[in-house]
Amino acid sequence: MMSMIMASFLSAALLLLVSGILTEKEYGSKPINLTIVNSIANAPNETYSADIVFRGILLGAMRRLQQTNADFKFTYRDDLNYGPFLESVNGVAGDNAEHTYWELLVQTGKNGSVIRPDVGIGCYIPEQNDHIILNFTKW
Ligand code: B12
């Protein structure tokens, strides 16, 4: 009798656990927009659609975009402390002597305001409807 109660208790617990995992996870990828802005040269903006997986990092979406779209290229260097630092986009590179760099901005899907994330491309996890802006600018 006791073992039957235990077994039904365990199977109920397992069912709860499995359904919890399934509802928390979402599979497949979703598109986000990524716009390249050059605030220094007066070049026209370019917008791409990049696929991001559930809770995936921005760098992953950028890598996938680079693999599938010959018009989008970027390079980064690995910083010992903070990870990937975006160095160049489509052949335009930041330059310490000129004080230029690629700034990461995000127009949030929530209220449309533009934020400047306090992490780089390797740590930022885009939300659905986020619009990523890579802005070439000066510091
Ligand atoms: C100066 C500075 C910059 C300068 C660096 C240029 C230069 N040659 O000086 C500029 C303006 C380019 C910059 C840019 C960014 N920065 Co900055 N930056 C700093 C700051 C104020 C000092 C760094 C420093 O000089 N350390 C002293 C030197 C001797 O050490 P170092 O190891 O050689 O420093 C290098 C790294 O820090 C690197 N670096 C600077 N910022 C970032 C950001 C990332 C993600 C990476 C990988 C590397 C990196 O550049 C420095 C010079 O080579 C720190 C905050 C702090 N007080 O430490 C933030 C800081 C490092 N930056 C930060 C961030 C978030 C960014 C941006 C992502 C902001 C954005 N939304 O665009 C961008 C990077 C975008 C990209 N292209 O990938 C965060 C990193 C946090 C994290 N865990 O990711 C910090 C800690 C500030 C914060 N918000 O808390 N940054």
Distance in angstroms between the alpha carbons of the first and the last residue of the chain: 73
95 lines ligand 1 (CB under 6 A): no
Name the nearest CA neighbour of 56 among 133, 122, 130, 125.
125
Q: Which CATH architecture has domain 29-138?
A: Beta Complex (2.170)
Q: Which of 37, 59, 79, 100 to mutate to test the pocket of ligand 1 (most atoms within 8 A of CB)?
A: 79
DSSP structural state of residue 4 = H
Q: Residue 112 C-alpha to ligand 1 middle, in angstroms? A: 25
DSSP structural state of residue 15 = H
Locate the ligand 1 atom nearest the alpha carbon of residue 105 and give its number. 71
pLDDT single digits (tens) 9-21: 566 666 555 555 5
Q: Which residues contact 59 (CB under 8 A, 6 or more apart)?
A: 76, 84, 121, 122
Locate the ligand 1 atom nearest the alpha carbon of residue 139 and give its number. 11
pLDDT single digits (tens) 29-86: 889 999 999 999 988 999 999 999 999 999 999 999 999 999 999 999 999 999 999 9
100 lines ligand 1 (CB under 6 A): no
Confidence of residue 23 (pLDDT cuts 50, 70, 90): low
